[in-house]
Amino acid sequence: MRSTIAAIFLSLATVSTSAFTGEKAAELELTGGPPWTNRVGPGLMASVSGNDCTDVFCENQWRTGYWGSIGGSVGFYYRILANLVVLAEANLGRVKTGANWLDEDMGLLFGAAAAAEFHGPIMKWLDSYVGFGIAYSHLRFQGESAQSGGQTDSLQGINFELRTGLDFYPFMRAPKLGMGPFFKLGMPWWIHGCTDAEGEKTCGYPNDVGMDDLPFLVHFGFAVKVGF
């Protein structure tokens, strides 16, 4: 009797395993979407990133740091050809600051960019890309101190961005859903600066108002892209 029951369970397990490894496994397997050449078309994207500004102005004046900063972006893209993507996006982020001569301080970074990226396949489910963008960037620092009062510094300019990253397309049922890490290095041409210390505000070309050694901008994060 026991051998008969064991034989029945073994038969059912064999049938179930065969069915799962056939149709069901094919549905669940992370084989990726169609070939990358079929991903041409429009889509939406969003990202979360850390952001920082570098060089003497940020590091000495406001003591910025990458860890502890946070930012996000949203945008629209169009994959014109299999290799070529154009996009427009806006981003807003908090820049971590630690000026020891202020009781409270914070930094804010806003940007709006247009860019083009060249994509190349590594595997059916993985693209790598490099690109170039032009953006409007606004960087603002603000601090308060009981002894010295408040101070605000701000910069506006045209930002030339180098962009690179990876796009993973792991889901067979969502072939145009991509995600992956990215890195952007901004090389801004700061054309307008303001400094406001204790109510005395001065604006003009940055070098003319004592804002030298102006910063680069750095973003590193994770993006999600959905084509339609």
Distance CA 191, CA 56 (A): 18
Q: How many CB atoms within 10 Å of residue 71?
A: 21
Distance CA 211, CA 224 (A): 37
Distance CA 105, CA 99 (A): 7
Q: Where are the domains of the chain?
A: 1-30, 33-227
Distance CA 129, CA 195 (A): 38
Q: 199 vs 15, 141, 149, 163, 196, CA distance in Å?
A: 80, 15, 9, 39, 6
Q: What is the pLDDT of residue 198?
A: 74
Average pLDDT, the chain: 82
pTM of the model: 0.79
* CATH, range 33-227: 2.40.160.20
Q: What is the pLDDT of residue 50?
A: 93
Q: What is the DSSP letter of 10?
A: H
Q: What residue ranges of the chain have pLDDT lower than 70?
A: 1-37, 148, 213-214
- Structure tokens that stand for 3 in this block: 């051998």
Q: For residue range 184-199, what is the model confidence (pLDDT) as tens digits?
A: 999 999 999 998 887 7
